Amino acid sequence: MSAPILITGATGHIGFRVLIHALTAGHTIRAAVRSQSKANMILSHPLIQNLNPGSRLSFTIVPDLTQPNAYDDAAEGVSHIIHIASPLRISSADDEIPMNEQDAFFIQPAVRGTLNVLHAAKKARTVRRVVITSSLVALVPVQQLTGQEDRPAYLGPVQPHDRIPFVSGPYENEFEAYAASKIAALQEAEAWVSRQGSNIAFDVVYLHPAFVEGRNDLASNAREVLKGTNTLVLGQVLGKKFDHPVAGATVHVEDVARVHVQALNQYVPGNTSYILSQSARWEDVRRIVKREFTDAVQKRILPNCGSAETHHIDVDASLTEDVFGFQHIGFAEQVRSVVGHYLELRVRRSAARGLRKSSAAGVGMPVIYGEALRS
């Protein structure tokens, strides 16, 4: 059996799809999770059971990624590491992390977790490459992503080699704190690799996704589909009106997962950043949903009455498409993926309710699609 690949963050939206892609590609995976219950959750998932990975999927428990040497045991004997684990929340204003806790919740886990992975890779002596999930927010000032300021024309499109300085908090909101965590983690990782020079036998690939959209297979109910950046699509469909403009730069979760796994290949140049993004207009969400889910809109299952304003920003992802040999999936398919999954879970919930009712009555009752969606 080939040496395992260590994946962190496999219980998240991106991480789980990376796990599925990696197993499908035939890799042997060691997943770092915070508890045995997290491991059990992954093992019991239908997509994992359908793949029947057997001994190709194992787990290592890392309760706190900020602790010194947190990943040392996890990295022992692995050939590659995909480091995805990092805090991300998209919350209402009433549920935000308090300003005095932002550093502990966002900055320290992102920085310490990344450095712990790099230290562990060095100690293992078997690691040939580390793939780190960064973000577009590490390359573009948050004010430009949220429409508070325009990108100066002389800078041209956002490039993978762009860098912005870290600014300490407190921050006005969670998105700014999250952006700062990605800036800090990237800055510290690149500085660490530079200091090591020839003392390490591996290189690093940095991936910078824009706003990630697409079905979240870990969502067990319709409400959970709203978690993370999917809320930018589904929130509009369910009637939310976003107060501030949002940069029109998105990426399908399938593209993100695909590139993470492809980045393990040595033909992909290391110690390099790659942007994952394609252009989007948030105002198109309602039009796409009306066209693709006509019945659900007409029946008001999807109110489709929210809004979001697009802040235009040019992003150059051509290096990624050239090196990895693909074209990014378009925005319409991203919207279809998110909204279709939401409706699928609504149907599943209604079917379960219908089954419970019919069981209580002692009569089998088929669930009709339209009726199920009305619940």
Would the pLDDT of 201 be above 70? yes
d(CA 141, CA 135): 12
Q: What is the structure's pLDDT at 169?
A: 80
DSSP 2-18: PPPEEEE-TTSHHHHHH
pLDDT digits (tens, 9 = 90+) for 328-347: 999 999 999 999 999 999 98
Question: According to the model, what pLDDT value does residue 88 have?
Answer: 65
**Comparing C-alpha atoms, which of 294, 162, 311, 171 is closest to residue 250?**
311
User: In terms of Cα–Cα distance, which of 201, 182, 167 is closest to 134?
Assistant: 182
Note whether 12 and 260 are within 8 A (CB): no
CB count in 10 Å sphere of residue 230: 27
CA distance 186 to 273: 10
Check residue 372 and give its pLDDT: 28
Look at the pTM and tell me if it is higher than 0.75: yes
- 19-68 residue pLDDT tens: 999 999 999 999 999 999 999 999 999 999 999 999 999 999 999 999 99
Predicted confidence (pLDDT) per residue in 60-107, tens digit: 999 999 999 999 999 999 999 999 998 765 544 456 778 778 878 789
Which architecture, in CATH terms, is 5-213+250-277+313-329? 3-Layer(aba) Sandwich (3.40)
User: Lowest-confidence range among 281-290, 324-333, 359-368?
Assistant: 359-368
3-state secondary structure of 244: coil
Within a 10 A sphere around the Cβ of 95, how many other Cβ atoms? 8
- Residue 354, pLDDT > 70, answer no
- The Cα–Cα gap between 128 and 200 comes to 9
Q: What is the 3-state secondary structure (H, E, C) of 46-110?
A: HHHHHHCCHHHEEEEECCCCCCCCCCHHHHCCCCEEEECCCCCCCCCHHHCCCHHHHHHHHHHHH
CB under 8 Å to 241, separation ≥6 — which residues?
306, 307, 308
pLDDT for position 352: 54
